[in-house]
Structure 1
Amino acid sequence: MPPQNKSRANPLRGQPTDDQEAKLPTQATDPSPLTRSRTGLALNPRRFMSVVPVALLMVALPALAQEPTAEPEASSVPEESAAPAPTPEAAPVEAGAAQPPTTTGSGDTQPKAGPSAGLLQLPQQAPKDWGTLHVVVFIGRRSTPALGVMARIGETRAVTNEDGAAGFSGPGGIHNLYLLVPRGLVPGAPGSSPAVEVKISEVPVVPFETTELIVTLSESGAVTNQLLEVAKKSQTSQDEEDSFEKRKATNPAGLLEGLLLSLDTKKPVARARVFVRGAPVEAESDAQGRFRIELPAGEYALSIIHTQYSTQTVDGIVVPAKGKVEVPIELSPSSVELDEFVVTAPHVEGTVASVMDERRDTSNVADVLGAEQMSAAGDSSAASALTRVTGVTLVGGKYIYIRGLGERYSSTLLNGADLPSPDPSRKVIPLDLFPTSVLGSVVVQKTYSPDMPGDFSGGVVQLRTRGVPEKFHFSLGLSTGANSVTTFQSGNTHRGGGRDWLGYDDGTRSVPGEWLRLTEGGTKTASLSHITPRSARPSAQDKVGLFEHNYSAQQVTMPLDLGVNAEIGDRLTFSNGAKVGIQLAGQYDNGWMFRGEDRGQITIDTVTGGFRRDFPTAIRQTTQDVSMASVGSVSAEFGKNHRLESTTLLTRKTAKNSSLDRSITNDSGEREKTTLSWNEQQLFAQQLRGEHEFERLARLKLSWMANYSTASRDEPDTREYSYVRDTPTAEVPNPTFRYLVASGPLRRNYETLMDESLVYGFDLKLPVSLGAKSELLLSSGGLFSRVDRDARVLRYRFVADGLSDEERALPLDQIFSPERVASGRLDIQDEFLPTDAYTAKTRTSAGYLMGEFIREKWLRFQGGVRVESALVSATTRPFVIVNPMQVPEVTGAIEQTNILPAGTLTLNTTEHSQLRIAVSQTVNRPQLRELSPAKFIDPETRIPYIGNENLRQADVTNYDARFEWYASATEMISFALFRKDFTNPIEITILPSGEPGDNNLRRFTNIPSARNYGAEMDFRYELDRNVDALEGYFLAGNLTLIRSEVEIPEADKAGSTNLRRPMQGQSPWIANLQLGYSDPEEGRFEFLVAFNMLGERIVEVGQSGIPDAYEQPVPLVDFTASYAFTERLRLKIKGRNLMDPLFQVEQAGLSQRAYRRGRSVAVSLSYEF
């Protein structure tokens, strides 16, 4: 948005601006507040009611002036500091008295004031020892400007305008200020009088200067915040004003441009007011912190006033004739934070206004979610929050698809650093690991820029942790929740360790230490039936008893979910000017979830030639989820140009699963499979970041970061076994389930994975002046990243020989009892695959050069190039069996250097709209295991895969265009078009049946080409724009239409049914809609209703003539409401999946999978100390 450049009188004085002529009753021709409301110019009914007492007070104003209200002033101010008595010529003017024309501080001549117009009364000519007092009054927690408050010092009075501002001149000295507040503005104040008087003691009025006083009142009329600044904004000396008029008439005009930045965050400061001393002009900074004023050539002094920053004065600014001078100014945060002068959302980290500013100001096509939006929607993790973003869908509850592209085409950064993954089959980290309580904002960048990683196709998810607060903050929250199909219902669990409630296994599930010692870490057993005769391996039989004797699931009544979170932070300032801030946040959640799912396998009916549903299976799974997260940040600032920050993040997610699957077997018998598992995932990250600005080097800026992180997955002692029973007959109507010895014996697996990552890089930014109307920002930087992965799986089969039918009917705990272990009838056999252990690594080094050219606020072009070299390799390491040379190591690798250009053009078509066009070239590299030609099993889907050492990277050309229109700080609408052309994209194909049980073997391969294109629409609208009764309500939503096409060559067809199909996981449309409300007066009550729905998408590629399997659309409706009992205590209620639809996967028109999640509700209570 271009900067505001208005030569106007200062609205803080109560004078009308160019766009406020009909609103501010400062002229004799203005109607009274009552008349203005009646004529429809004041549409807000609450403001109308608040002005009624003011109108009544104005009628009685002469009488009020005779009351002895000056006595407290005389008694509370020392005699030597009291204001001198005004001379008859300079006596304050009583309201209602007819006066000759008066001169304002801006030099404008006002007409004679009538009895009903004089809200601002000034003397005919201010003496030289007088000063000016500007008062701004806010009401309530949201700091709403107070209209109609009468401010009085002695007999001088003024009434606040719609900005809550009033001003008058008076003699220098220390005074008491009295505010007469209409009761409608402070309904909680004691008493029943039409107005409440508030006293502000010892307010200084400095001769020749302007004192700014900002006061915030609670609903009860108490002063909650008070900011006093003596700002040298305008000198009332007539000589200086005359000098400006002479300079204006004789000197050529020049241009003064400024950039306002926060001293703490280095972010632009928007909506700050800039005054020129001795000149009747002012400006307001835009969203980029910029302002522009045209002035006659000469020397000037500026004063900058903002509610969240201390007033700043800059002297000695020389404006050249017919030229331009640029002035960068940094503002220090004030000790008291207040909202903006005007009723708009303040630019606070994580608010709707701040993230919308970032979306508008970035040179890329990006969507931003702030902490305020995530909290309002009740999202508990980054994964669920991202479903509100245009063009983003969630797969498996943890992986995102951006614009129809799978997780392989996306990457995740934490504060700018790449992260490792605890998933052995994927490089992307599951986003359900990040609770929203530790995040300040989430940015989804959809267009590539050279400062981003080159492996970029769908987009980059940038997670940002919460920043350090400006002042002391401590909050504590408790929560509980329930689900309609889970809470207080019967579910299954299994015995674990003593620390299960913390999400940590205490060693109960670990491989026994003695077994590891005997088998050299589990890789060499004495029980290799396919190599060594049984007679030669008696030791395995003796050691069965070393393993934990725990096989059965127990029924449990699932309790309420519980959670607790806390946050504390502060910022300290030392005598040498250094500032140190600290922020700590933590969260713990313990919840339960039950899923009853019906599955079937779609096959071809050999009789009819159609399709049928075979092997129906009823899955009953109970999961206890324990999640913990903590983040700590420490920042240090040394002067205004150097900042260091350290961030430590630890997040964990543990799932304790107990699953019972009952299915019909081939011979129409019944099979019951039990699976008991424990899965721990953890991410640890330690970051160091620095920002430095070197003023002597043309304001060169250096930012750097170093990040060490680890991601681990530990799944110890997953137990699987089955029981079967025959088909019921007339003779045996209820046959007994018996332990399945042959094909379904007890299996125990131990899986571990560790990713270790080190990333460090730097960025340089140099502003270059190109004259009065253009500027250039040059950027350059480098990055190095290394990731090392080590993964392994230990697989054992426990065999029980010679069991009778009666013994097979016993529970497994009794079959594998210590007595049978001692009898030698049990044995341990390994089921190791040569590929069950592997190592992998990536090495990436990159450098980029980028420039951003800006021309007169209407054009911005960002372009550059990135050179990136990458090595990706995976080595399958065989377990030692007898001779390690029998299974050689297998390595797949790809190493390539790419030159990746990108350019984005932004045109500001109007003051509030802009058009972006972007073109870029990126790549998509194989993931770690995809390069190894060895067979492996996905730990989540249990589907077998085989890699391909001949894989090549995919090249992607990206095209984007987006039009954005911003109606206000919180309102916008945008339309976007995008297209992506892929060369050699990596897809999954199904191989023909080769080995028994390998009929579902998948392989990664390059196909010649693919396309992906679509359109997006996004909007946010405040409903009170045209209807005052809907103040506080907003409507937001987005719609995405996507089409993709994959063509599989005949040679790679294998078992695939369709050679041309959409990309797997891509929905043809995605829709989101939100209706929300936030109490505009006090902000006590808020609610949000959110709707999400997406079109059908492929979840499994069809094979052998069977069509693709599609997940069907379902409507998802969520609800969040919160109420603040006080400014510190808040209650929040969340409802999830309120319609509880049936989630279904269809294949050939038949149901392959179907389940319901149940309705969920959660209640939380938070308190800020």
Structure 2
Amino acid sequence: MHRRFIFIATSLLFSLITFAQTGSIQGTVSDALSHERLMGAIISLDGTNKGTSTDFDGNFILENIVAGTYTLSISYVSYTSKKIPVKVVENTATDLVNISLSEATEVLQEVVVRATKKTSTETAIVLETKKMNPIAVGVSAQQIAKTLDRDASQVMRRVPGISIMDDRFVMIRGLNERYNTVLLNDVITPSTEVDARAFSFDLLPANAIDRIVVYKTASAENAGEMAGGVIKIYTKSRIDENTTTFGFSTAYRTGTTNLQALQYAGGKLDMLGFDDGTRALPQNFGNRAILNGNNRVAANEQFRRFLPMYNVSNQTIMPDLRANLGLSRIFNIGALDVSNITNVNYSMSNLLPQNATQERYEGINNNELAYQWRDAASVQQVRLSAMSNFNILLSEKSKIEFRNLFYQAATNETLMREGTNENEQIDFRNYAFRYETRSIYSTQLSGTHDMQQQAKLTWNVGYGFTNRYEPDYRRIATSRISGKTDEQYKIDVPPVANPSLTQAARFWSALNEHIATAALNYEKDITIRGMVVKTQVGAFEEVKIRDFNARWFGYINPNNSERIYQLPEIFFDEQNITTNAGGISLLEGTNYDDHYTAQNSLSAAYMSAVIPFTSRISTQIGLRGEFNRQQLQSRLRGSGTSVTVNNPIISPFPSLNVTYKINKMQQLRFAYGMTVNRPEFREIAPFSYYDFNLNISKSGNPDLKTASIHNIDARYEIYPSDGELITVAAFYKYFINPIEISGRAAGSGTAFFYANPNSAKSVGFEIEVRKNIKGFLQNRLTIVANGSLIYSRVDASNLAGQIANRPLQGQSPYLVNLGLYYNHDLFQANILYNVIGKRIFVAGDLLGNQTIYEMPRNVIDINISKPVGQKLEFKLGISDLFNQANRFTADSNNDAKIDGNDKNWRSFSRGSLISLGATYKL
């Protein structure tokens, strides 16, 4: 299969390349007297619509010109225009070498030009990051358009030094996603996960993104909470013309599409990503006193209002579908120039994980197999998003932006698990039916005002709402004696009034979070002894409020009824919920810790100055102060003892960014910054959540501390030409009280919890290349590559039984991203490669809890796009060409190495995805 994919992809790429038989014109424009190269000179080919402008080095190129003789026009403000006859030959670059322009002698009339700065091109993003004082990298909308990326998580894979975890979460320099701060249009995004501090990048559609900039060093104007980086995502706002675009694509996934799989019945709005109330708790459902009271007749009447526990059937898995509609409009409201961009995106994808196995080992060196199982899962994901951004020009120097984003995502999962409990010699067949929705709404109002005397004022107010809803998560456990294949599985339910969340149970949870923000920033250039010092002061305020509630109910078999040997669809029939002999019942098992409320307030003020000590040395000095108060209220499981967290912390964040310009093409950077990493609400909440997929529970730690980080960076940058760069960097990070996920024994199973080792350090080296390959394929091939090597070590001597000399949890020792982009007017193609080194998924100890590593996985994507005329474009893509397994391996002998002595903990494959789509522009 792999060879067939490679052959098809290579054949398509070769045939498209050989199809393009045209010529090009290239050259350089300079001043006739000083010989200084002119940037921004206008180049046009008379009689055609071909045109361009010169780059920073005065270079230009016009491509895809049909062979023939033409007249080339060159013009530049305050210079005399020039026309040159040129001859274009097929498959040849006509090199005009140098074109000189002379200054015009006539006086020019004043002309007022109103323009909008382009930020979405590859050249613009390179120039933007080059001029920034902090070290930064980025990706533009132009580069995104060359791929089949559907959402921001896939886009982020193109950013140097970035890797993606679980197809949703971003890691910078191999660090865990918790060490990143994510901003959407300069407003901090809410955490989208209940169990972790993370933003799920699959929420944002790729076609709504203008650019993404990742800051790798600290600066006063950016949030003080970072160690990996600050990620700023900007959605599209200003446009040049009215457009309407339609897009549609379908995809075939190997091992999934057109196969049969178990799926459980849901609601009428599942296709749109909403639960229509079908899975909701019945209206006016009873409280615990009624449901667990002595009047079982009344209680059972309540429980019979539930949906059927087991309502599954085999369904044929359809191909993935994606559709989008984009509207761009320019209009006037009185004297105001207004533009609007609106995007609506919909997608439905399906996945049947292949060869999904898990194993658990015990005994000396963990060599004795205790459990093993195979999962047959069907996962459907629906995403619906809408974005509407308004840009209002109040004047040439002032604008207002109003941005809105709504996102709805739903996951519908049906899972059947078969395996063996070697300790008890039992075969089991378990089921889980899960439906989860995530809703995010973000609205922002911002203003930018250019003032007199080189000053600028910007402000921003925003509101965000996040909801995560998990209605009627059903779990069923059945078993039989190992080897008794002729016997039927019996349903596992407790015979006493003690329901179990891991056997036959139904679980509901809801999380609501509100965030309000306000920011003010003032910039002004001040001249001191001939130096222009760029100063900046600002303030930021954020208030975050969260409320979480969970409620669950478990089946019991008080009469030891033989009904347990019936099939699930018969056993769980509502008619069997009765006090009669042989009947079953339900009890509420909700615990004290299944509810928590939390609040966080953050107040910040900062100031910075960029001081050009010489024409070559520029230094940004900054100081940011933050006062953060984190509060949480909950209760302990069992005892109900009140748990209160109240952590007020004042943190100063000094930062220094120094740039030494060797020449126009080269510069050196040095940076230092102090930052923090605060616990997320979920990480300090005592709530324990049972994860059926991993067969573990997850709980928070109210005693978790805030981590402090010292960051040192050095980088050498080369900019060979417009849009190109080569960088070599080194960095060092020292963590005090880093936050890690660790494993510990919990009853008969394992629990994941959060802990603070004493300290950790991370030392890394990275290289980045974005370069056009000259003299090959008519200069149309570009390579974008980056790689990192990182060494990390943790001092966890303060934690009982911890393994010495291990890496930081979540830190990869290396990562590699490589992309080859071929760009032609007739078609575009690219091949992308990504791999990250093994990293600790969960830190173990010497007390029997193994360290789990996520193993490397090589990923190759191929994308080809073909425009047809000016309005239609087709795209073909193959994602995850080799379909290597996602592997998690247990370090069985605790030697901090993974070799033949270590055992599989979890493994599965997603399959390769072949997609075909089209976009039409009106």
Q: TM-score, normalised by structure 1?
A: 0.69
1:669 to 2:422 alignment? no
**Correspondent of 2:757 among 992, 1007, 1016:** 1007
Task: Give how far 1:463 is off.
Answer: 1.1
Query: 3-state DSSP class of the match of 2:662?
Result: strand
Contact 1:689 1:703 in 2 (8 A): yes
Residue 438 of structure 1 aligns with which residue?
208
**Correspondent of 2:538 among 781, 799, 802:** 781
CA distance in 2, matches of 1:939, 1:687: 38
Task: Give how far 1:707 is off.
Answer: 0.6
Residue 667 of structure 2 aligns with which residue?
914
Residue 360 of structure 1 aligns with which residue?
130
1:588 to 2:346 alignment? yes
Task: Give how far 1:690 is off.
Answer: 0.2
Change in CA separation of 1:604 and 1:738 when aligned onto 2, cut-off 3 Å? closer
Residue 512 of structure 1 aligns with which residue?
282
Aligned-residue identity in percent = 22
Contact 1:355 1:369 in 2 (8 A): yes
Change in CA separation of 1:349 and 1:163 when aligned onto 2, cut-off 3 Å? closer
CA distance in 1, matches of 2:577, 2:735: 59
Aligned 1:958-977 pairs, distance under 5 A: 958-977=711-730
1:404 to 2:174 alignment? yes
**Correspondent of 1:748 among 503, 506, 510:** 506
Task: Give how far 1:470 is off.
Answer: 1.6
1:526 to 2:290 alignment? yes
Residue 1092 of structure 1 aligns with which residue?
834
Residue 953 of structure 1 aligns with which residue?
706
Task: Please tell me the residue identity of whatever aligns with 1:378.
Answer: L
Change in CA separation of 1:657 and 1:508 when aligned onto 2, cut-off 3 Å? same
**Superposed CA offset, 1:37-96 (max 9, x none):** xxxxxxx99558999xxxxxxxxxxxxxxxxxxxxxxxxxxxxxxxxxxxxxxxxxxxxx
CA distance in 1, matches of 2:125, 2:799: 46
Query: 3-state DSSP class of the match of 2:628?
Result: strand
Residue 621 of structure 1 aligns with which residue?
377
Residue 1102 of structure 1 aligns with which residue?
844
Task: Give how far 1:952 is off.
Answer: 3.0
Aligned 1:624-1023 pairs, distance under 5 A: 624-665=380-421, 666-695=423-452, 698-728=453-483, 733-742=485-494, 745-770=503-528, 774-802=531-559, 805=562, 807-821=563-577, 824=580, 825-854=583-612, 857-876=615-634, 887-932=640-685, 935=688, 943-991=696-744, 993=745, 996-997=747-748, 1000-1023=750-773
Task: Give how far 1:780 is off.
Answer: 0.3
Out of 946-955 and 1135-1144, give the one that drifted further: 946-955
Task: Give how far 1:487 is off.
Answer: 0.5
Query: 3-state DSSP class of the match of 1:354?
Result: helix
Task: Give how far 1:728 is off.
Answer: 3.1
Change in CA separation of 1:1156 and 1:983 when aligned onto 2, cut-off 3 Å? same
CA distance in 2, matches of 1:1039, 1:658: 38
Residue 38 of structure 2 aligns with which residue?
none
**Correspondent of 1:1033 among 781, 791, 796:** 781
**Correspondent of 1:465 among 224, 235, 240:** 235
**Correspondent of 1:1070 among 805, 815, 819:** 815
Out of 716-725 and 931-940, give the one that drifted further: 931-940
Task: Give how far 1:853 is off.
Answer: 1.8
1:143 to 2:51 alignment? yes
Task: Give how far 1:1105 is off.
Answer: 4.5
Query: 3-state DSSP class of the match of 1:1000?
Result: strand
1:333 to 2:115 alignment? yes
Task: Please tell me the residue identity of whatever aligns with 1:1122.
Answer: S
CA distance in 2, matches of 1:1110, 1:1069: 14
Contact 1:468 1:570 in 2 (8 A): no
Q: TM-score, normalised by structure 2?
A: 0.86
Task: Give how far 1:620 is off.
Answer: 1.2
Of structures 1 and 2, the one scoring higher in RCO (CA 8 A, sep 6+) is 2
Contact 2:309 2:474 in 1 (8 A): no
Task: Give how far 1:817 is off.
Answer: 2.3
CA distance in 1, matches of 2:720, 2:733: 31
Task: Give how far 1:1002 is off.
Answer: 4.2
Contact 1:413 1:463 in 2 (8 A): yes
Task: Please tell me the residue identity of whatever aligns with 1:785.
Answer: E
**Superposed CA offset, 1:917-940 (max 9, x none):** 001111122222333456555798
Query: 3-state DSSP class of the match of 2:392?
Result: strand
Contact 2:71 2:83 in 1 (8 A): no
Quick check: which has more Rg, 1 or 2?
A: 1
1:1134 to 2:890 alignment? no
Aligned residues: 855
Query: 3-state DSSP class of the match of 2:304?
Result: helix
**Superposed CA offset, 1:1079-1098 (max 9, x none):** 1xxx2200000011111111
**Superposed CA offset, 1:763-791 (max 9, x none):** 0001113465x311110000100000000
CA distance in 2, matches of 1:196, 1:422: 57
Residue 6 of structure 1 aligns with which residue?
none
Task: Please tell me the residue identity of whatever aligns with 2:290.
Answer: A
CA distance in 2, matches of 1:1090, 1:423: 29
Contact 2:463 2:516 in 1 (8 A): yes
**Superposed CA offset, 1:110-155 (max 9, x none):** xxxxxxxxxxxxxxxxxxxxxxxx9942687763689xxxxxxxxx
CA distance in 2, matches of 1:452, 1:313: 39
Query: 3-state DSSP class of the match of 2:486?
Result: coil
Task: Give how far 1:425 is off.
Answer: 2.3
Aligned 1:282-431 pairs, distance under 5 A: 313=110, 331-333=113-115, 348-431=118-201
Task: Give how far 1:419 is off.
Answer: 1.6
**Superposed CA offset, 1:497-537 (max 9, x none):** 1111111111000000031xx32xxxx34233xxx5xx444
Change in CA separation of 1:721 and 1:634 when aligned onto 2, cut-off 3 Å? same
1:449 to 2:219 alignment? yes
Task: Please tell me the residue identity of whatever aligns with 1:682.
Answer: S
Change in CA separation of 1:868 and 1:937 when aligned onto 2, cut-off 3 Å? farther
Task: Please tell me the residue identity of whatever aligns with 2:906.
Answer: R
Change in CA separation of 1:795 and 1:46 when aligned onto 2, cut-off 3 Å? closer
Task: Give how far 1:621 is off.
Answer: 1.1
Task: Give how far 1:942 is off.
Answer: 6.3
Structure 2 gap ranges (5+): 1-19, 34-41, 89-99, 495-499, 893-901
Task: Give how far 1:949 is off.
Answer: 3.9
Contact 1:138 1:164 in 2 (8 A): no
CA distance in 2, matches of 1:401, 1:1084: 36
CA distance in 2, matches of 1:929, 1:940: 19
Structure 1 gap ranges (5+): 1-43, 52-105, 109-133, 147-160, 166-181, 188-193, 201-208, 220-272, 280-300, 304-311, 315-329, 335-346
CA distance in 2, matches of 1:724, 1:107: 88
Q: Which is strand-richer, 1 or 2?
A: 2
Task: Please tell me the residue identity of whatever aligns with 1:684.
Answer: Y
CA distance in 2, matches of 1:162, 1:767: 32
Task: Give how far 1:1155 is off.
Answer: 1.7
Residue 794 of structure 2 aligns with which residue?
1046
Change in CA separation of 1:937 and 1:141 when aligned onto 2, cut-off 3 Å? farther
Out of 894-903 and 1107-1116, give the one that drifted further: 1107-1116
Task: Give how far 1:834 is off.
Answer: 0.7
CA distance in 2, matches of 1:1138, 1:447: 35
Task: Give how far 1:745 is off.
Answer: 4.3
**Superposed CA offset, 1:167-214 (max 9, x none):** xxxxxxxxxxxxxxx9x9446xxxxxx76999x9xxxxxxxx999899
Contact 1:1041 1:1069 in 2 (8 A): yes
CA distance in 1, matches of 2:32, 2:166: 68
Residue 95 of structure 2 aligns with which residue?
none
CA distance in 2, matches of 1:540, 1:1019: 67
Change in CA separation of 1:952 and 1:48 when aligned onto 2, cut-off 3 Å? closer
Contact 1:678 1:715 in 2 (8 A): yes
Task: Give how far 1:422 is off.
Answer: 3.2
